[in-house]
Amino acid sequence: MNETRGLFMSDTSQDQLFSEDNDELIFAEEDDSLFFAANDIEREKFPQDSWKLLIVDDEVEIHNITKLALRDFTVEGKSLTFLSAFSSQEAKQIIQENSDIAMILLDVVMETEDAGLEVVKYIRDVLKNHLVRIILRTGQPGQFPEDVVIINYDINDYKSKTELTTQKLFTTVVTTLRVFRAFTTLEVSKRELEKVALENTQL
C-alpha cells in the first residue's frame, strides 16, 4: 500500500475483537467489510496537544485492534494521534516526514523476515533519531530471540503480540511516553545550555 489509511470498525466488530472477560486482544481474521480507508482524515493537521504514535504492521487488523484499544487514551492531558504504515518503506517515509513521533509499535516480519529491524537501523543510524521510543511487536518471537535483538538493535522494548492485552498495551504506552517526555526535556535543556555556552564564548 502506498498511502496511510485511517481504519474504523462498528460496535459489533469491536465486541468480536475484544474479550472483556480476560481482557485479551483477539486477533480476528481480516474482513474487508469491517473497515474503510479515510485518507483525508489521516492527513488533517495533527493537534499540537497530542502524542504521535506510529503503528507499523502489514496486518490491517493489528492497526484496527491497536486503535480501538487506545481510542480513549490520554496521558498528561494529551491524546494520541495515530499514523499507520503497512511496510518498512512506508514506515521510513513517515518517520522521515514526522521527526516528532513519540513512539513506534513496530512489527518485525513484514515484506521480509527482518523488515522491522531494518527500520530500526534506518531510524537510529540514518536519521540519527535517538529520541523516538521503539517497541518491537512480533507474532513469531522464536524467530528473533529477545536477548539477541535487544543487544544488537537500539530498541526500547520487545513484545510478543499475544502478550499485549489491552491493559498491558495501555501500560506500555503510558510508561514509554513518560520516558519520551523525559528524554525530550533533557534534550531541550542540553541545547539551551549549549546555546548559552556558545554565547558566552563570543563575549
Q: Which three cell numbers stand for residue 71?
A: 481510542
Distance CA 165, CA 18 (A): 9
**Among 147-161, 163-177, 179-193, where is mean pLDDT lowest?**
179-193
Q: pLDDT tens digit string along 179-194?
A: 999 999 888 777 777 7
In the chain, domain spans: 11-201
Contact (Cβ atoms closer than 8 angstroms) between residue 105 and residue 54: yes
Q: Into which CATH architecture does domain 11-201 fall?
A: 3-Layer(aba) Sandwich (3.40)
DSSP 134-188: EEEEES-TTTS-HHHHHHHS--SEEEEGGG--HHHHHHHHHHHHHHHHHHHHHHH
Report pLDDT for 105: 98
pTM: 0.73
